[in-house]
Amino acid sequence: MKAQCPKCKKWRAVFDKQVVSCSNCGDTAFSLLDALVKHGKEGKRKNKYNAKKVKADGYTFDSQAEYRRYLELKQLFDAGVIGSLEVHPKYSLLAPFTDSFGVKHPGITYEADFCYYDEDGQFIAEDVKGVKTAVFKLKRQLFCEQHPEIKLVLVPVR
């Protein structure tokens, strides 16, 4: 990864937690972590699908599309059209287990974006999806098998 010297602004390749001196100005307090902190970029990673996280009402939404859908559902909930709106509910798909060789396997869970009761009383789990990944397709199958009483609705990104 490249980082910029905070003193002379020269770019240089720096590896994780490596402390180096700048070949241009000789500044020795220069590491990737220092550079990221000084430039305010620590912890900021670009999303694989260019989605921008949105924080609102105490929740962190994975995309602006998911946040827009939250606002729509919140309006419907406030109007009494839908009931029991929940954000980011988790569902168990496979309980943790230890196989016959003594290897422990963690459980598998699915986190929907929203769940609620619609006007007909049907329990709905919603997921705002731009890209249907292979992991999602597998979890969707497991979800439908494990929770047949819940209707899984995919909301496409507009």
Residue 18 domain flag: yes
Q: Domain range for residue 94?
A: 54-156
Q: Is 80 found in the same domain as 123?
A: yes
The reported pLDDT for the residue numbered 81 is: 94
* Helix, coil or strand: residue 85: strand
Residue 2 — pLDDT band, cuts 50, 70, 90? low
Q: Is 119 found in the same domain as 79?
A: yes
* 131 pLDDT higher than 90: no
pLDDT digits (tens, 9 = 90+) for 132-141: 999 999 999 9
Q: Is 67 found in the same domain as 137?
A: yes
Q: Which residues pair with 61 in a beta bridge?
A: 54
pLDDT digits (tens, 9 = 90+) for 82-128: 999 999 999 999 999 999 999 999 999 999 999 999 999 999 999 99
Q: What is the CATH number of the domain that holds 129?
A: 3.40.1350.10
Q: Is 140 found in the same domain as 80?
A: yes
Q: Find out whether 31 and 17 touch, Cβ atoms under 8 Å.
A: yes
Residue with tokens 């999303």: 47
Q: Is 97 found in the same domain as 71?
A: yes
Closest CA to 73 of 127, 6, 35: 127
The reported pLDDT for the residue numbered 79 is: 94
